[in-house]
Every structure is written in structure tokens, then in C-alpha cells.
Amino acid sequence: MNLVRTAMLLAFMTALFMGVGYLIGGQSGMMIALLVAAGMNFFSWWNSDRMVLSAYHAQEISEENAPEFFRMIRDLSANAGLPMPKVYLYDSPQPNAFATGRNPENAAVAASTGLLQMLKPEEVAGVMAHELAHIQNRDTLTMTITATLAGAISMLGNFAFLFGGNRDGENRSPLGGIGILVAMIVAPLAAMLVQMAISRTREYSADRRGAEICGNPLWLASALGKIARGAEHIPNADAERNPATAHMFIINPLSGERMDNLFSTHPDTGNRIAALERLAAEMGSGSTQRPQAANPTRKARSVPNTAWGRGDSQPPKGPWS
């Protein structure tokens, strides 16, 4: 159902873009809009990852300078059956993460320094598994296309005022002034709503698949709660300068959205956690209680002997110590 819904929303976005072109300049305007959309999508398809990573000043890491975190991504990628993506860190006290890239063979995952400082290793594993799920579902490409189309529709809306009006006694818009008004106001708003709807649809799918990749839905559930609280109180200056990238993050870095409403880029965090807890019960992951916050005076709860946990011992400090 999520795939069908996403396909329908993308089809609507494309039709909306061409419709705006028609409202501005009739048949010729529609063809010009189609060519502009194709050009912008081609550029975004090839360059979106570099543009986003550059906007957040992300630095690529290797096994030499961040061995445990790098091995965690490698193990999770193997669990998902994915090629090893490039791994990045970006400097921000706000805990968050995102994925980018045009396909699984050319993908990258990025985590903030705040994420590695505030979350336990198993919670970090849940977050990065979620991002790998986006790559596996090709959500990074889908969201790049929708963001590009939404931006292009807004751009055409601005052009409508300049090029859609009367010239030499003729109105270029087939619908006259009403068409220009729709192109300027209604179409960009509709595009924004479609973009947000696609974002919310893909987050639930990535939560479920990410839980399957890391093996424990409660790890991701616990991480979502911590990230949401951090995002509410810790600003992300780079995200504020690039609000169009907000939909890429596991939690909205701009503000704490609390409802699955039309104007939110992400589902309500409480709803996502509840869905993960139900999934944990289905998978038989044990107690539906989420992991407790780390306490240095108590022994950590048992986690598998993996790159992000060592049985009943204290969780490793990792490269973020």
C-alpha cells in the first residue's frame, strides 16, 4: 500500500507541475515545464548526495578513524543485503541522522556527533538501520525527485506573476487571471502537501524495515524518543539554513512536530514508537519496555555480541568517546 500510495502521489506531483506550466503558458508552457522538470531531476539525481552532505559540512569516515561505528554500518549493511555505503559524520549537538544517494550502489549515511554522544550503541544501530532501510527502499531517490518537483512548482508559481499576465493585449494563461492565481498560490501549496505526505508514508516503512535489519524494534523506538526530545531543545543551524532538507532526517530537525497533520514532514514520534512496540511483540523481541537510559552504576542490559554491544558487559564507548 505504501508503494502504491507513493506512486500515486508522485504521479500527482508530475501532473501538477505540467498543469502549472499549462496555466502559465498553455501548451507551450506545459512543454517547457516538462523540459525544466526533466533537467532539474537529472541534475538532482547525480548531485543530490554531494549537495546535502556539503550543506551539513559532513566528513567521510573510515574504519581507521572510527572503527566501531564503521563496523556497525558494515554489519547492518550485510544484514540488509546492501552494498557498504559511504559513512559520514557531521558536527551538530542535535542528535539526528539521514541517508542520501541515487541508488544503493551510490549511497551515503550520515550521523551527527550529538547522536553518537547521546545514544547508546544499540540505539545508534537502530537509527542507522532505519537509514539503510531508506536506501534499500530507494526512498532517497524518491524524496529527491519530490523535493525537486516541489521546488520547481514553487519557482513556476513565481514566474507566473511575471510571464503569465497580459502582454500586447493577450493573456497567456488559458484560464486568465484565475489560472495565474492558481499557479501562484494553490499549486505550490499542493506540491508542499504532497511532498510531506510522501515523507510521512516512507518513514513508517523505514521504521519497520530498520527494526528488521537491526533485529530489535525497541532499539529504534528508544532512539526515536531521545532524538525527538533532543530536536525540540537543541537547534540545528545548518538545517535552519536548508529547510528543504528537513524531510531527509529521521526526526524533523527544524521543530518537534506532534501530529500526523498535513503540514508535518514526519509522523508523530509517539505513533512511530507505538508501531515499533507492536512490531516487537510480533517479533518476540522480549519486553515491550524500551531500553533504560545508561547508568554507569548499573550493569548494562544484555545485547548481542556485535559491533554495537558485548553481551552483558558495559556497552563500548566507540569512536564517539
DSSP 85-116: PEEEEE--SS--EEEEESSGGGEEEEEEHHHH
Given phi > 0 = left and psi -120 to 50 = alpha, else beta, which region is 57?
left
Give the C-alpha separation, 253 to 247, whole Å: 9
Known catalytic residue at 105: no
Q: 3-state DSSP call for residue 284?
A: coil
Give the angle 177-178-181 at the CA atoms, nearest 5°. 90
Q: 3-state DSSP call for residue 163?
A: helix
Would the annotation count 64 as a binding residue? no
Q: 3-state DSSP call for residue 223?
A: helix
Q: 3-state DSSP call for residue 60?
A: strand
Query: What DSSP state is assigned to residue 174?
Result: T
Place of cell 556539503: 54
Among 113, 119, 136, smallest CA distance to 56 is for: 113
Place of cell 542520501: 100
Residues 6+ positions from 8 with CB-CB distance below 8 Å? none
Of 131, 170, 232, 240, catalytic: 131
Among 141, 176, 150, 175, smallest CA distance to 47 is for: 141
The H or E element spanning position 79 is: helix 67-80
Give the C-alpha separation, 120 to 223, whole Å: 8
Give the C-alpha separation, 36 to 28, whole Å: 12
Would the annotation count 247 as a binding residue? no
Residue 140 · residue 107 · CB < 8 Å: yes
Residues catalogued as catalytic: 131
Residues that constitute the known binding site for Zn(2+): 130, 134, 203
